[in-house]
Chains A and B, each alone.
Chain A
Amino acid sequence: MSEIVVDNLSHTFGKDTGDALNVLQDINLTFASGSFNTIVGTSGCGKSTLLKMMAGLFEPSDGRMTLDGEVIRGTDRRRGMVFQQDAVFPWMTLAKNISYGPRLRGASRREQAKIEARWIELVGLKGFENRWPRELSGGMRKRVDIGRVYANDPDVLLMDEPFGALDAQTKERMQAELLDIWTITKKTVVFVTHDLEEAIFLSDKVIVMSARPGRIRHIEEIALPRPRSGEMRLTDDFIQVKRKLWGMLEH
């Protein structure tokens, strides 16, 4: 069980000052345990802010969020996050990056090696264990980011446009691989993107947000069967959903 509930949340930057900026307004959401959810919206709709609050990187000015009924306050390992920017530690080899979380908690060398082997295999980086991050491509570094968070065994995964900086082919491959890993682990995922196709392809539920202040515009349950394959992007069902949601985004 790992269900996230966002309860009547609003957020204003610089509250009680002259130039207060209301970024999020009356957000109510439930992310079911084990589901894949995506938040889409044009830039400035506060989707990244919402995700960072779920991670505990900062506190909302009003309302609250809970994970399994427990109020979220501050960061902890139960809510892992993959960032838009490259967050792989350049001073650690690939393997050491993967086992960073377990090492923090004093995992033995043997445990670390086991975790490294499992996740390096799962994110498809076998043979690169002892490479420095600077020797890897952008796509490979993103795999390290994802593998490192999974290896830390969180309950929930928060992903902030993780594939935003990748080329189209790499992006599609990474989406498919992410779904494979999600199928194995069945962890709750909250994914943020501005790419509608990505959102529909990955998710059980797509949340469309509108901007200034960020509000929930619409919630779409995606009924496409799983496992999903690349060709599904071209089916009528897929395109129909895309057309419907596209009309809701502010262009």
Chain B
Amino acid sequence: MRSHMKRFAFLISGRVILGAASVLAVLLSYSWVTGQPDNNPALLPPISHIGQAFVVNVTRGTLIDALGASLYRISMGFLIGTSCALVLGCLIGWYKTIEYLLDPLIEAVRPIPPLAYIPIVIIWFGIEEFSRILLISIACFMVCVVNVVAGMKNVPQVYVDAASTMGASRFQIFRTVAIPAATPFIFTGFRIALAAAWTTLVAAELIAAPSGLGFLLQEGRRYFLTDQVMMIIVIIGACAFTMDRLFRGVQARLTRWSEARE
């Protein structure tokens, strides 16, 4: 037991070290490139400039405002999109009638990239906050619903049969067998939806938004503030990474029973 714990601790630390090493390698090569005498800092700003842009935007308060606006949109869009996906996905995956009814529709709509809806959403709802949240919701819904359906369809038949021969009703089987058996799939759906939310958010904010990270990117392009653009890209990456890690933590906690290892 003792040696197991040690081995585990070693694996964890090894993992963190390796992960940090790759990030460090990228930073080092970047600073080497930007340190060359013929480098144009307007195109490839050195790390110190990017850091300065960060400080400037923090002191001006613009970064916090932008981050707040973007995170609000992400959370709302994610919550609405994945909630709908969860409810509809469960129904489609579990009840044949609903599947036959809705599956062709979803399959036909799914390949359309969410960004293709931008013009129509702007025509219908204007460039309001609602439009941006709607777009993110659509993106989250589309990628998530497929996973929820797959999860429901992959519930092993023997579990369903076992529950039903113990006297469980169709709804009880749904609640006590199908949902827990599908949790790993559902969580994967949530994580993919989160990534889709970031993609769509920035695109939506680039086109029309008075605030947000995408707005700062756009501003950076307009005034040729490459360091600001770079800084925002790093911020987006860091946010998406942190949120995904948080999700993985929750997932690992809720699916402790699963044999799947990371």
Instruction: Answer yes or no: A77 CB below 8 A from chain B CBs.
Output: yes
Contacts of B176 in A (CB 8 A): 100, 104
Contact A100 B166 (CB under 8 A): yes
Per-residue B-contact encoding for A63-106, CB less than 8 Å = 1, 0 else: 00000000000011101110101110111100000001100110
Q: B100 on the interface (CB 8 Å rule)?
A: no
Question: Could you tell me the distance between the alpha carbons of A134 and B257 in the complex, rounded to whole angstroms?
Answer: 7
Scoring B164, B165, B180 by chain A CB atoms within 10 A of each residue's CB, the highest score goes to B165
Q: Is B150's CB within 8 Å of the partner chain A?
A: no
User: Is the Cβ of B166 less than 8 Å from the Cβ of A83?
Assistant: no
Q: A148: which B residues are within 8 A, CB to CB?
A: 166
CA of A86 to CA of B183 in the docked complex: distance in angstroms? 19
Residues of A within 8 A of B258 (CB): 90-91, 134
* CB-defined contacts of A92 to chain B, threshold 8 Å: 180, 257
Is A56 part of the contact surface with B, judged by Cβ < 8 Å?
Answer: yes
> Given the complex, which residues of A lie within 8 Å of B149, measured CB to CB?
none
Residue in contact with B162 in the complex, picked from A76, A81, A133, CB distance below 8 Å: A81
Q: Which of B161, B172, B181, B256 contacts A81 (CB 8 A)?
A: B161
Task: Say if the beta carbon of B177 comes within 8 Å of chain A.
Answer: yes
Q: Does chain A have a CB within 8 A of B104?
A: no
Residue in B158, B181, B257 whose beta carbon sits within 8 Å of that of A83 in the complex: B158
**Interface flag for B168 (CB, 8 Å):** yes
Leading 5 A-B pairs by shortest Cβ distance: A77-B167, A87-B162, A91-B180, A81-B165, A101-B166
Complex-state Cα separation, A91 to B166, whole angstroms:
17
- Determine whether the beta carbon of B166 is less than 8 Å from that of A89: no
Identity of the chain B residue whose Cβ is nearest the Cβ of A151 in the assembled complex: B166
CB distance from A178 to the nearest CB of B (A): 18
Most buried by B among A83, A92, A149: A83
Interface residue B38 (Cβ < 8 Å from any Cβ of A) = no
Residues of B within 8 A of A79 (CB): 165
Contact with A along B149-179 (1 / 0, CB 8 A): 0000000101101111111100010001100
A157 and B140 alpha carbons, distance in the complex (Å): 47
Q: A112 in the interface, Cβ–Cβ < 8 Å?
A: no
**B262 near A: Cβ within 8 Å?**
no
**CB nearest neighbor in B for A87:** B162
Output the nearest chain A residue to B254 by Cβ-Cβ distance.
A91
A47 CB, nearest partner CB in chain B, Å: 17
16 A–B pairs (Cβ distance < 8 Å), ordered by A: A55-B161, A76-B167, A77-B165, A83-B158, A89-B177, A90-B258, A90-B259, A91-B180, A91-B181, A91-B183, A100-B163, A104-B168, A132-B257, A134-B258, A148-B166, A152-B167
Q: Between A and B, how many residue pairs show CB distances below 8 Å?
A: 70
Chain A residues within an 8 Å CB radius of B255: 91
Q: Given that A83-B158, A89-B159, A134-B259 are contacting pairs, would A104 and B165 also be in contact in the complex, using a CB cutoff of 8 Å?
A: no
Query: Which residue of B is nearest A55, CB measured?
Result: B165
What is the minimal beta-carbon distance from A240 to any residue of chain B, in angstroms?
37
- What residue in chain A is nearest B179 (Cβ atoms)? A91
Nearest-CB residue, chain B, relative to A75: B164
B166 in contact with A80 (CB, 8 Å): yes
Q: Closest CB of chain A to B143's CB: distance in Å?
A: 24
Q: Count of B residues near A, CB < 8 Å?
A: 22
Is A57 part of the binding interface, using a Cβ–Cβ cutoff of 8 Å?
Answer: yes
Asked if B161 and A57 make an inter-chain contact with CB atoms under 8 angstroms apart, the answer reads: yes
- Who on chain A is nearest to B166 by CB? A101
Q: A93's closest neighbor in chain B, by CB?
A: B257
Within 8 Å CB of B181, what residues of A? Answer: 89, 91
Q: What is the minimal beta-carbon distance from B185 to any residue of chain A, in angstroms?
A: 13
Complex Cα–Cα for A158 and B177 (A): 21
CA distance A148 to B158 in the complex (A): 14
Q: In the complex, A57 Cα to B157 Cα: how many Å?
A: 11
- Determine the chain B residues whose CB is within 8 A of the CB of A134 once the complex forms: 257-259
A85 to B159, CA, bound (A): 10
**Once the chains bind, are B166 and A152 in contact (CB under 8 Å)?**
yes
**Complex formed: what's the CA distance from A100 to B255 in Å?**
19
Say yes or no: A87 contacts B158, CB within 8 Å: yes
Measured in the bound complex, the distance between the Cα atoms of B156 and A134 in whole Å is: 16
Contact assessment for A105 and B165 in the assembled complex, using a CB-CB cutoff below 8 Å = no
Other than A79-B165, A158-B165, give 13 A-B pairs with Cβ distance below 8 A: A56-B165, A57-B161, A75-B164, A77-B167, A83-B162, A87-B162, A89-B177, A92-B257, A100-B176, A101-B167, A104-B166, A134-B259, A145-B162
Among B156, B164, B177, B256, find the residue whose CB has the most chain A CB atoms closer than 10 A: B164
- Residue on A with the closest CB to B183? A91
Closest to A78 in B: B167
